[in-house]
Amino acid sequence: MTITRTESEGHFVSRIVKVTPNMAESFLSGNLVNRRLDMGQVRSLTETILRGEWKLTHQGIAFDVAGALLDGQHRLRAIIEANTAVEMLVFNGLSKDVFPVLDTGRRRSAADTLSSTGEKYLHLLSSTIRHVTLFKTMPNNPWSGASAHVSNDRILSAYNKDKVRYGEAVAIGRELSKYLFASQTAAAVGYFVTTDVAPAADIDEWISGLKSGASLDSDDARLALREVPRETQKRGAKRRMGIRDQVAIYIKAWNAWVEPEKTGELRLRRLRKRENMPMPIEVKFER
């Protein structure tokens, strides 16, 4: 156990400790009163550690006066899963009476995390970044449930790496959703992932055609995308279309517009069982 600093206040002691997987196993053996494990939270913390994004904060682990673990089981389990030691605050000597008030505050949302960026439409921005991340990391798996959790740190990191394009995607998503069946998030994600691989495409032509629909040929993919029934993604619809399906349809239309000779008959419908997410066709500058 590496202790870098020790402070005391009243009857408890706080220390910065580099907690190893073996130590985490030992600490968890004293887990007598903790809540049930949320494996989605464990996976999220594990991925944060493996990506080297773990940060020392005031949130650590805590033991009562008898040595029983009161708080931190998810962090300890993540250390074991990642098989990596990390530094965290360790509190010893807390009263057993504090357990009911631990972690009862409102959990910080991704939008809260992005509030310092000065961006508008924070909920749409955070949702866009989350779903772009899911598209890049697990395109062929469901985008809901514990396995689809994306940490706030990861969302903020993605924003900082590509803030201009995310801001642009949000603006375009808000505008396109007025003319398409897709939600603002789905339109923003579709715009981001297609233009991400198509720096040489005429994006203005694509967008203007989607918005106006004027003078488009009957076989134009933009017209087909405009004509997808809006009711398919609304609450209460017989089979509501999720964001993953909406993004897939947007990409199918994009691919048919970029290379119509390769797409054959265009069918803009939700993904069938075991159908993979389509990947956007690249449009790059010739060297």
Q: pLDDT per residue over 22-73, tens digit each?
A: 999 998 886 655 566 778 788 888 988 998 888 888 888 988 888 888 888 8
- Which two tokens mark 22? 């073996």
The CATH number of the structural domain formed by 3-95 is: 3.90.1530
Q: How far is CA 70 from CA 5, 28, 62, in A?
A: 21, 10, 5
pLDDT at residue number 2: 45
State whether residue 117 is helix, strand or coil. helix
Per-residue pLDDT band for 103 (boundaries 50, 70, 90) equals low
Name the residue type at position 214.
A
Summarize pLDDT for 134-167 with one digit per residue, the tens.
Answer: 999 999 999 998 789 888 888 999 999 999 999 9
Q: How far apart are alpha carbons 176 and 182 in whole angstroms?
A: 8
Q: How far apart are alpha carbons 274 and 140 in whole angstroms?
A: 8
- The structure tokens 């040595």 sit at 67
More confident residue, 115 or 8: 115
- Which two tokens mark 23? 């130590």
Q: How far apart are alpha carbons 147 and 13 in whole angstroms?
A: 36
pLDDT at residue number 196: 96
- Over 23-46, what HEC string results? HHHHHHCCCCCCCCCCHHHHHHHH
Per-residue pLDDT band for 101 (boundaries 50, 70, 90) equals low
Where do the structural domains in the chain lie, given as residue ranges?
Answer: 3-95, 110-263
